[in-house]
Structure 1
Amino acid sequence: MLGSLGLQSFDNSAVQDFVVVLDAGHGGHDSGKYYNGIKESEIALAITLKVGAILEKQPGVKVIYTRKTDKFVNLYERGAIANRADADLFVSIHCNAHNSQAYGAETFVLGLHANKQNLEVAKKENEVIFLEDNYEENYAGYDPNSPESFIGLTLMQEEYLDQSIMLASLIQNNFVNQLGRKDRSVKQAGFIVLHQSYMPSVLIETGFITNKKEGAYLSSNKGKTEMAKSISDAILSYKKSILLATQDSKNPQITEKEIETAIATTEENIYEGVTFKVQLAASSRALELQSYNFKGLRELSMSKEGNLYKYYYGETSDYNKIQLMKTYAQEKGYDSCYIVAFKDGKKQKLSSIINSN
């Protein structure tokens, strides 16, 4: 069952590290965005090293860096580093830029560009491949300027999308609630560096170096330290949340009390006006909403769509909570259950809700 989550199963008889690969964007002859003496590659590296320093102090966490100095690393090699390490997370850290005074932080997961703006951000980050030797061979004819090139990028990451969105949401939540940064939300776009890794992966745009105030903040030691703490706190919250789903299958099932404890200790990620539920099953006959009919689950509801009755577990506007409830339902035997979203009483496409938050 855990394989269907895209999560590794841990053998509790042997302690295994939670492996996080930290990727400082750009480097070397690729400075990334550059404005008034501010280099994206330098800020990204400084924040990345600070995140790593915090995580390395945590027992059971192993940190691997794609670069620790000002050097150039090919995009495909960044993902390969994470894959060779069999990492649990891949986190790529960047800065943004614009020809206006735009500002704010945003975090991306891999996906088809939801709009033209997301496509443009991805294209700018992906164009670094032209600085690499033999890029035609390494990326099999990929063209950063072609929308068609993005279509295949999501396939490898499909089974990790829920986990990637969960981490991205935790990061954005910290940026907004801890630091008061403008929330540019969690978005999906076709970043090659995310496509190359086979685990939950996010790309963080920490802010705009082209904004006078935000550029100064990101350049300051205070700004770098605060951003690093928010990112590392989110990673540790994510780690805590998925521990329930990474127990060895030989161990007893997760209990409802453990789920309640995890929910109580996990940071909220509220979507105002949205209700999330876990869809358990659909049937042509009506069942009583009693726990004995649903493998001990409570908080049940039902709706009728056409000739089918659809059965749901949980009801919350907290996306992190519903992720945990989905894990619990899968542990109970509902392997194919999934999260659905409702707004104004109507079912919505989950990815649209996440993108439009």
Structure 2
Amino acid sequence: MIGTVVTPLNIDVTTSMVAVVTVLAVLVVSLATLARPSRATITWGAAFALGMLGAYLWLGGYELDDPHLRAGASGILLDFEPLVWLGLRMYAGRRVRWTPTVAFMLVCPAALVLTAGTVAYPAVFRVSFLAGSVFAGLIVLELLRLHRVPRDITMPLMLASGVFVVLAIVAAASVLFAGGLTSTQQLTVLRGVNSVGTLVMSTCAAFTLVLLVRVGAPGPADDGGAMGRVRHRLRRAQAQNDQGWSLLDVRLDDPEVLREASSTAAFALISERFHDDIEASLPAIADVHRIDDGRALVLISGAEEVVRHHIRSMLGRISTIDRDEQVSRIRVSASVGWASTAVCGHDLDVLAASAAEAAARAEADGGDRWARAASATSPTTLER
């Protein structure tokens, strides 16, 4: 009689982490980055690709018992947080903060690799973990600011990021209360927490980010009123092959700073004047939709020279400071993102996303100017 020997398959948390992160990276790249390419989805795709690389390096370092490989993998896995945060700002059309992101992504892995195998490594790891939690906290803040996105979509990543912050603080404080554990034992615990945390964070991030992409960029919410008319006009223009339409994303520069520098009543006056200036500087045929106190979407018809003239007139009118004595001491300016149907097509969501990214680019370049979307995903050409 021939017997069959069955060897049990031993799958630990490290192997599970590699498998899960690989699947999630494929899902995000295919369902978000490739399905709807933009600066935000490309950044999120890069975050998951980097996370997948870190997971495989972690597995290699674990199998080879190489502390430097494990340290480098830990640093790469921590780089996931700032990239997700950066993508969220791009998605919302806000100013992109490259300096802290790039600095963390370079310094963190380098510091961990250089101190690997030394007595300083546990302390460096805790500091890096704590620094990464700052970006997790910023992720929560960005998600809370997405007012037009259903909360059940943002909740998974919001909760996971909040737990990340709590764990980082506990890990940093544990050095004061872990007198019975050696540094090696403490480090083993931190590595286990890092592995499980990577699984939870990447899973929640994949759910939230893919759903964010599927519901579309914030801003062009169709409430059946103004934006419903905009969609209808664009459909008619597409049916008639009319390429002479443009969507403008007009944003007040630094609204948070203006709000802090003025009283509630003064900021309300600034906001009302901002929207009044938009209305006054555009032809009556233009559709103006107020998004919030410091932002409006405008659908306008006309040749490029005509649209350019109206944009310059609008920016000049907004930045004029001698018309209202109540707000004359406060310098106000705006940034405009310009997406035309001739370049980006007639789909309102695509136009809005392109105009939002162009407006963010103009604001990042100093504000008080406009930027034109050269394609549906690559805003260029900054002008005043």
TM over 0.5: no
The structure, 1 or 2, with the larger RCO (C-alpha pairs under 8 Å, 6+ apart) is 1
TM-score computed with the length of structure 2 as normaliser:
0.29
TM-score computed with the length of structure 1 as normaliser:
0.31
More helix by share: 2
